[in-house]
Structures are given as C-alpha cells and as structure tokens.
Structure 1
Amino acid sequence: MHWSTVVASLVTVAAVTEARSWQHVGRKPPVSSPNAGDYLTHFLETRETADSKFANANTTDFAVNGTGIPDVDFDIGESYSGLLSITDDPDGDQKLFFWFFPSPNDAADKEILLWLNGGPGCSSFEGLIQENGPFIWQYGTYKPVPNPWSWHRLTNIVYVEQPVGTGFSQGTVTATSEEDVAEQFMGFWKNFVDTFSMQGYKVYIAGESYAGKYCPYIASAMLDADDATYYNVSGMMIYDPVLMDDTLQTSYSVVPFVDYNKNLMPFNDSFSAYLQEKHESCGFAEYSATYLQYPPPGPQPGVNVSDECANLWYSVYSEVFSLNPCFDVYQVATTCPLLWDVLGFPGSLYYIPEGANVYFDREDVKQAIHAPNITWEECASNDVFINNHDKSDPSGYKVLPHVIEATQNVIIGHGILDMILLANGSLLSIQNMTWGGKLGFESVPIEPFYVPYHELSTGDAIGESDDMLALSTLAGAGVMGIAHTERGLTYVTVNIAGHMIPQYAPSAAFRQLEFLLGRVEGLSSTQAFTTDKDTPQPSADSLGNGTGPWTWSSTGH
C-alpha cells in the first residue's frame, strides 16, 4: 500500500463511504488526453512503416509475413529472418540466425545497428521481444503489443543469435576465444551485407552483459579489417557490460550496493556486520577510496584476494533469497509473486507453469520466422566456447580502448538496480582503462541524464482506457541518472533500471540510441525526441546535477 494511502485512511476514517475516492486509494483521477480512449488504434494508424526497402530476389526466402507472427494481432511491418553461413560457402556447417527489421525513418538511410545479448550463449531474441524490438511481450503481461520505443523507429536493426550454439544458430562449436567469435561474426556479416545490398552502410553495434566482450571484440576486428564497404563501424553502446575481472565488478563493490539498497536487502545485524567487516578486511573499502578518484592516481593493481573475499558477492546473493524468495539479481526491486515469462526466465529463476510454452520454441513461431525445428533456449544449455572457456582478455584491456579511439563514439550504460554487475564495478573498470593517451575519466561524473517528456511519460496518457499498449509501454521522463563524456567515451546511469536498460527504462534507452546515432547533441540536452518534436521541454539550466546513488564524493568514494 502507498504511504499516501495510509495517511489518507487515517485522516478520513470517520468519513468513509461506499464510493471510495481516487485520492483515498492513492491514485490520481483519470485525465483525458488526445486519443486516450484508444491509444492502440491511434498508434497503429499513425506509425510509419517501411515500404519494402529490401525486397529483392536475394531476400525473398528470408521475408517474414508481418501479419503472420503467432499471437501478434497487428502488422509488425517489413522484416527478414533466417540462417546465414559464417563462411563463403552458403551450405557451410556453421550458420548464425538473424531477424532484421528495416526502419521507416528517413534519417536511417545507409546505416544499420546490430544487437547482441550476452550469456555467453543467450539469444539476442531476448532483446527483440522484451527490450527494443517492434513488438514486445514483457513478463507478467497478457499478450505482445506494439512497441513505441522500438529501436527500428530510429534505425535499421538486426538481432543476431551468436556465437554458434546460441538460439537457432547451427553447427559445431569451435570457438575458444573472442577472436574466434569475431572472425566467425565477420564472415556472417559479409554475407548479410551482400544479401541485403548494404555495402558502405555505417555499422553501429550494441549489446549488454557478456556482450561487453562480444561487441568490442567484433567492433575492433571490423575496424582492423579497414574495409568500409562491409565493416564501417561508427559507434558502439554496451549496457551493464563485462569489462574487467569478474571479482572487481562484483565483490569489490557489493557492500556499498547493499548499503544503498538496504530497504530491499534488510539483512539482520550479524550478517550486516559480517559484510562490513569483510569489506574492510578484504581491502575493498581502501581500494575504492584509492582508485575511484577523478582523475585516478594510477593503474590499479591486479585482483588478488582470498576465496572468501572473492566470493563476497555470492554470500550476499545466497543470503538474500531467505528474505525475498523471488529476488531478481537483474533488478533488485523485484518481489513476489513470480510472474510468468514467455521466454522462461522471469528474473533470476527458470519457471514454466503447466500448460505454458516458451515462445520461440513453439512450432508455429519457428515456421513463421524460417527457424530450424530444434529446441530453442533463451540461454544455451550447452557450451558456446569449447570446454566453456573463453580464453580472451577482458575487453577493457585493449580492444575497448581501441574502439573508443577509432570511433570517438562509445557509450557504456548502467542500470543502478542491477546486481549481476555493479555500477561501481563499471566505474572502477573505466578508471583503470587507458584511451586517448590518458587513464580513466579526469572529471567526476555529475551531469544530468535527461529523458524528454512525451505522451507515455505518465499514466494520464491512458485516461479512462484499459488499453493494453498504453499500460505496457509507459516510460519515464526527466532527469533519470548521470551522463558524462570524455575523449569519445560516455558513461550513463539509469536510476530505476536493472540489468536490461531497454526493458526497464525504454525511453531512456531510446534517448541513448539517438545520441549514439548523432541525432541529438548530448545526453544532458533538453531537445525533444526526434520522433516527437512538438512536446514542450524545460530549459537545460533548470535540470541541476545528475541523480542517483553517490558512488563517489570529493574524496572519490
């Protein structure tokens, strides 16, 4: 129950009537707005769709019927899906599966963005159906709906299931490193470009989590190829990414994270005291105080701690389930009940209720998108690296700095409610990374991250309607975090997002993509969305500083 509800109940207890007011139950009365009564119809009637931009003899076999996607009761528009070889041999054993959505946006001419989920071995169709695709089916919702925050509204986008062994991709797993993955991907990409006649297109790469290794290694390999016909890499965005040593990005910062979120992880006094003692005795507190400085004092020493210290994050993770059996490490504000997810993973747990089916493992869905009739899993049960070992160095050592320097256009985003990888861990990683001839950020990240106001920024857009689209696609606006840019690298946080920023804060991710594509001047700009130019915005000088947890102070911690 909302606190305002409790107060209202106490104050007005003597005046209770059968007809309880909106204020009594802690809600605002509905406010009418244009098209509020039927937002779904209005959106579908006014949205732009691509006019078969890529239909030709080479793409016919990949064309998807936009009105034939199971359970999707609207036209998703032009799209193409299927398998392509990673070599010059179209009949080769190893193939990657993709789903490509052309953009109706005129500004998207001669550019394409590729999206990769992480894992390793997790399908990029998670991003498609629950983050930034043309239709979304979020866990706990009744059916798929059109996504007004779809990234294809800004640019052409393709979702690729990779490496080999992921999703519908085919063939024997042979990768032992990120270099292998990048080489295989480049072979696929050349075939994709030739199939859809995209020679010379600008290529943007985006992904999340373990894609913090995938994306930089693929982008770096493309840049090294020095072939703008196929590999014209122009920018990269990675969310909540793997950047450095796992322990550095987790256990080193987990106690401050617990302290900041103590209302969500209310441990008893003895366990709280244990955490504080370990944070000090393991050297984590001193480490952050020393190296989370702007500018940093120097390179950080290698991670070398006891097993108990290295596993401090796991201690927190194990203990919290006794307090919250539905705890979601990807979004720590989640509580019970556990909601059904059509991908099978509502948060941290795998759960398929009786009678339900994983969406992409349904035969009718496979037929609609030309997928092979194999068992589809959101995250592969089998290894996608030989012996489940990726021998490559973290991307933050060399390849990520290389991409930053070459493109001057890299964004690292982090959801503050994510515990699988911690925001302070990302900052420590950045402060130990050299690019542009300097180590880390020189100035404290403090600037506001501003998301423009829009029709779906409040519940008022719904009016008295129970319209499913409006309910499923509400998104925030205003100052939603911190954004800071130096030497071609931007770091941005989103306060109320978890591990998958486009899922939890779609309007924030939409704005970040506009910046990556060069459509807006910065993430502190109060320029309206390029797709919604008429909505009034405040002046930039009214924003103040960024918001969120103070992961640093004047002393650096």
Structure 2
Amino acid sequence: MRGSAIFTGLLSVAAVAEATRSWQHVGKKPRNKPARSEINALDHYLATRQVPEPRFANENTTKFAVNGTGVPDVEFDVGESYSGYLPISDDPDDTNELFFWFFANSEGSDAKEILIWLNGGPGCSSFEGVIQENGPFQWQYGTYKPIPNPWAWNRLINTIWVEQPIGTGFSRGEVTATSEEDVAKQFIGFWKNFVKTFSLQGYKVYIAGESYAGAYCPYIASAMLDANDTTYYDMSGLLIYDPVIGNEIVQDSLTTVPFADYHHNLMPFNNSFSQHIHELHDSCGFAAYQDKYLTYPAAGPQPSNLTETVSEECAGLWELVLDNALSLNPCFDVYQVATTCPLLWDVLGYPGSFPYSPAGSGPIYFDREDVKRAIHADVNHTWEACSSTDVFVDNTDTSDPSAWRALPHVIDATKNVIIAHGTLDMILLTNGTLLSIQNMTWGGKLGFESAPVEPFFVPYHKDSTPSDIYAETDATVLGAITGAGVMGTAHTERGLTYVGIDLSGHMVPQYAPSAAFRHLEFLLGHVDSLSSTDAFTFESNITQPAVDTLGNGTGPATFSSESSDDASGSGNNSTPKGAASSLGVAGSLFACVVVFTAMLNM
C-alpha cells in the first residue's frame, strides 16, 4: 500500500480545448524471463482474423470503396471500408460536404447497428481517432509504422469516423455554423444521405467522441431524437470522453489546484509558488465552491454567472499552473501530464500539445497525395489535424453548454449515456466534469445522489500479465499491449454512467485502449456494468477474479473533503475528514508532504 493509498483524495476538471492542440532508462530486465505459455493477444488476433465478405458493396457505394491492402504504409488488409464526400442536404449537387471513413464490422457480424466517432477541437479531425485511437490500424507517437489494432471498435460494431463540421479535415464548403444546433442540422443532413447510400435504414445508431465533441455529440444525438424517425435516426446510446459539457471556469481553473496537489510528483512546484496558488484557490472562492457543490446528493444549482463574476487573475489560475509546469518540464503535455521530454515524432504532426515534425519525417500522413488518393480525398486540399481556420462564424459557438438541455434529453430518452474521464488529463479536469454532472438535471433529479466509488474493471486478457509481456516476442506485439484490472471508478444512476480512468490522458482510446473497449461493450449492452468481471467478448476463456475481490474504485476522490459521511469513508477513493487532503482545500503542501513521507515509511 505504498503508492495507491497515499493520495486518497482528489481530482479536477479543466479547460475548453483550443481549435488547435497548441496547448494542443535504465536497462532493467526481469530476473527470470518466463517461457510463453500461450499465444499473445495480437498474434492471436492476426492468426484467427478473417476478413469477411463485403457487406455494404452495391452500385451506390462502389465509388467509395477503399482497397483494404492499398492503404499507404499499412502492411496488412484493413478490411472492408469506404470513404469520401457526401453533402449535408438532400441536394446531390450541394458543395457543402462532410468527409467520412466507414469500416464494416471486421468480425462479420450482421447486427444492424452502427457507431459514429467524432473528435473535438472545434475543428479537429476524427481521423486522429482512426489512426491513433480506435481504428483498425494504429500509428502512435514515436512508433515506426502502423500495426493492427486488436482494440479496434469496428471489431464490435460497424464504425464511421466523420470529419465535421464544415472546415474540418477534408470536409469542404462554406462555414456557416454559429451554434451546435447548426452543426447538428448539417450532420443529420449528411447522415440521411449516408444511410441511403449504404442501405442502413433501421440500424441502431450510437454516437461517441471526445473533448469538444462533448458539445457536438449530445446536440447531434438530441437532434436525431427530435427527428422522431427511427428509420434513419434510431439513437440508442452516447459515450463522451473528457468532454466539454459545462462552465469553462468550472472545467479548468476552479479545480486546477486540487489537480496539481494530486499530481504533485509530476508538477513539483517549490513552496512559495505552491503557497501562492493555494492562496488563490482559497481567495477566489474555488475551495469553498468545491466543498459546497462536489457533494452527493447535489447541494443545489450552481451559480450561472460564474464566468462574469470571477476575476481575471482567478480565471487565469489554470494557465498560471501550466506555465510553471512547463518551466519545470518543457515537454509537459496538458493532454497527458505524465509526459516528459523528449518530444516524440508523430505522423500527424502533434505529439501531444506541441506541433512537431522533425527534419526528414516527411509530410503529415493524411496530407500525403498517395494517402488522399487511397481514400478518395481531394488531392489539392491541405489536411490539418486541427483546422487553422474557423469552423464557426467569427470563431464563436453561441450554444448553451450541452449539460443544460441536450445531454439530459439524450440521457432521459436512451437511458444509455456514458461520461468518461482520464485522470491524467489537464486540458479538461475530472472534478470539473463531476461538478458539471452535479449541476445537471436528468431523470427528474439534480446530479448523482451517491458518490462514485465502485470499481471500474478491465478484464484480464492475453498480453496483460508479466509472463506474456516479458516473454520473447516481436516488436509488433509489444506495440499493442494494454492494461487490465481495476483501472478507475464507475457509477451509474438513472441512465447515466460516469467512469474515471486511471493512467489515461485526454484521448482515452489512445492511452487506455482496453478500457475504452470495455466502455464500448457496456454501451452496446454486452455487459451489465463497468464493474462486471465478465471476460472480453473475444476472449471468453480467460479466467477473471470474483467481483467481491475487487474492492472500491481507484484513483482521485470523486467528492470534496467536506462531503457526506458515506462518501468520505469510502475506501480507496476516500479522504478522511481532518486529514491533510490532496484536494488542497484546507491544508498546505507541507502537510501533504508529511503525509506522503509517513505513508512511504509504512
């Protein structure tokens, strides 16, 4: 209990992502290298993988078909897929078009269901998701070449990655959107054309995304529900990662100091600076705000005018902490705060927060002419991971936060919504998401009534044990290993599930692919909860632990230090009242260090 029990208290929730991501070894060896007793996950996946016969090929889709063995630099068949442009209206000559890449279910399932994946920004391409998160091949930062992704979401469901709104990625036309309502109208026009083209009438539709897609996804899902047409828009579930859903101050500066306290080994500020930010946290009213409102059940509606009433100095607390973190660690990445130097080469040009394409690395992958031709994109169009031009008129989205109306509407209608957050994310902070949930009304009640403390369990799988990982194996296999066990905290009430994911940054399917795969299984109804110890869909023969051996969830606390008795005594996630809390609400860095030192000596 030397490490995980030390920080029993906190977490935070941070900022709204920019249009670009400009925020945007010792040689130890195992004592004994055990023989491999069973085939590893990726070998198993490749050995048993069979590319099924095409399911969506017809006279309307031929022009969109992608040669599965012809994707540049990808040395294997990516399977049945289609990509190209479709207009956002009934007019086939409409020059306002969204670009997509659609992958059929790679296991040959004939289930009539499809999932839409959207990245955020605003203006960031969903093809980040294709190549570095949940697509059938992945090319991660600093890696040599693309490899098969055994955690690809299209193993479970037909999946489409869409570049939207107009002005994002390869999508083209006139930027006219001023609100999320406009974005949703564009999208459902595109979607109806897509359904007609691929004969997907009557399919269940699921939507997932991350970051600013916390605005996109709920508004699009809500518009689909309002259309009242299940032939084209049978909206059945929603999953959003590290999402923009609430007040900007709440989702960054208000919970920045507790976040820095919890991760103080990654942000080792000196005493004077630490004292300064703690004084600001108190004097700005942020400590009192969190103590009052990060409680269960909810204390009541949170102030609606926070952005207007908070001083410039207080609103800038997040950036102040970031600037000092960058002084200590010039490669500090707000998307994954455990990142250190050097910067890794990224095939998309953005290894974390910084644009970086070293000499000789060549053009960004999706801006290569051979890639554009392979996926039917306009070869004269300059592709950017995140658009350098506005995707909203005057770069202003006039819509209310999705947590006010759109998101509750989707929860109440589908009873199947997941809000997930990586605990190493600082661009948007966990406690900000939780505070936003506690300020949201759905199912006739405000917020969760009970604190999230249940374990989030990721099944054990091939390559999740040391005997697999350390065994003699090839580099391709090692490129696909990912974690298992209790990896955070999950909680469900009235159709909404919250899940915090340990050891993950902002892009959860990238940093914790097995965890994201489990979220998708839960969204699709393959398991009954995120605390289930049922095996993964494709590895049913792997033995799992008993549920009653899991304990509570892990990671930062999901409630304030002044929360209710039942929350404050909740085990792995708790901070006892009166203790030197890592929340930083009442207690100095010195007290935290004393507790930390004492725990290490236990």
Amino acid at match of 1:360: F
**Aligned partner letter, 1:311:** G
Q: Please state whether the residue corresponding to 2:353 is helix, strand or coil.
A: coil
Indicate whether 1:383 and 2:360 are aligned. Answer: no
Distance across 1 between alignment mates of 2:94 and 2:54: 29
1:12 is matched with none
Distance 1:452 1:40, change over 3 A: closer
**What is residue 520 of structure 1 aligned with on the other side?**
527
**What's the RMSD between the two structures over aligned residues?**
1.6
Asked if residue 424 in structure 1 is aligned to residue 431 in structure 2, the reply is yes
From 431, 435, 460, the equivalent of 2:467 is 460
Contact 1:515-1:522 at 8 Å conserved across structures: yes
Which one of the candidate residues 18, 27, 30 is aligned to 2:30?
27
User: What is the aligned counterpart of 2:505 among 483, 498, 505?
Assistant: 498
The share of aligned pairs that are identical, in percent, is 66
CA contact 2:451–2:558 (8 Å) conserved in 1: no
Aligned pairs for 1:11-160 (under 5 A) are 25=28, 27-34=30-37, 36=39, 42-105=44-107, 109-160=111-162
* Conservation of the 8 A alpha-carbon contact between 1:250 and 1:420: yes
Structure 1 counterpart of 2:120, which letter? G
Q: What amino acid is the match of 2:335?
A: Y
Aligned-partner SS, 1:455: coil
CA contact 1:213–1:394 (8 Å) conserved in 2: yes
Give the one of 375, 378, 384 matched to 1:372.
Answer: 378
Specify whether residues 311 and 52 from structure 1 end up closer, same or farther in structure 2 by C-alpha distance, changes over 3 A only. Answer: same
User: What secondary structure does 2:172 align onto?
Assistant: coil
Q: Deviations over 1:324-352 (max 9, x none)?
A: 01011000000001100101000110001
**Structure 2 residue 366 is matched with structure 1 residue 360:** yes
| Superposed displacement of residue 468, structure 1 | 2.5
Deviations 1:187-241 (A, max 9, x none): 0000000010000000000000000000000000000000000000000000000
Does the residue aligned with 1:515 lie in a helix, a strand or coil?
A: helix
1:269 CA drift (Å) = 1.3
Pairing of 1:337-356 with structure 2 (within 5 A): 337-356=342-361
Using the size of structure 2 for normalisation, the TM-score is 0.87
Amino acid at match of 2:461: H
Query: Letter of the aligned partner of 1:136 in structure 2?
Result: Q
* Separation in 1, partners of 2:342, 2:416: 41
Q: Which 5+ residue runs of structure 2 have no aligned equivalent?
A: 4-25, 564-582, 584-602
1:439 counterpart = 2:441? no
Partner deviation per Cα, 1:391-420 (whole Å, 9 max, x = no partner): 001000001000000000000000000000
1: CA distance between counterparts of 2:275 and 2:75?
Answer: 54
Distance 1:555 1:512 in 2: 31
Shift of the alpha carbon at 1:104? 3.3
Q: 1:411 aligns with which of 415, 418, 433?
A: 418
Distance 1:39 1:445 in 2: 32
8 A contact 2:455–2:551 mirrored in 1: yes
Counterpart residue number, 2:457: 450
In structure 2, the partner of 1:336 is 341
The aligned counterpart of 2:173 is 171
SS, match of residue 249 in structure 1? coil
Partner residue in 1 for 2:574: none
Q: Shift of residue 457 of structure 1?
A: 1.3
Contact 2:36 2:471 in 1 (8 A): no
Q: Contact conserved, 2:291 with 2:561, CA < 8 A, in 1? A: no
Whether contact under 8 Å (1:108, 1:155) holds in the other structure is: no
Q: Structure 1 pair 380/459, CA: closer, same or farther in 2 (3 Å)?
A: farther
Indicate the residue corresponding to 2:593 in structure 1.
Answer: none
Partners in 2 of 1:244 and 1:271 — Cα distance? Answer: 29
Q: In 2, Cα distance between the equivalents of 1:42 and 1:409?
A: 32
Amino acid at match of 1:534: N
Q: Aligned partners of 2:298 and 2:266: how far apart in 1?
A: 32
What residue in structure 1 maps to residue 316 of structure 2? Answer: 311
SS at match of 1:172: coil
Q: Is the 8 A contact 1:40 1:470 kept in 2?
A: yes
When residues 39 and 276 of structure 1 are mapped into structure 2, their CA distance, relative to the original with a 3 A threshold, is: closer
How far is 1:461 from its partner?
A: 2.4
Q: 1:68 to 1:444 in 2, by over 3 A?
A: same
Instruction: Map Cα deviations across residues 294-329 of structure 1 (whole Å, 9 max, x no partner).
Output: 001110112121011011001111111110010110
| 1:181 equivalent in structure 2 | 183
Query: Which of residues 307, 311, 327 is equivalent to 1:322?
Result: 327
Structure 1 contact 207–239 (Cα < 8 Å) conserved = yes
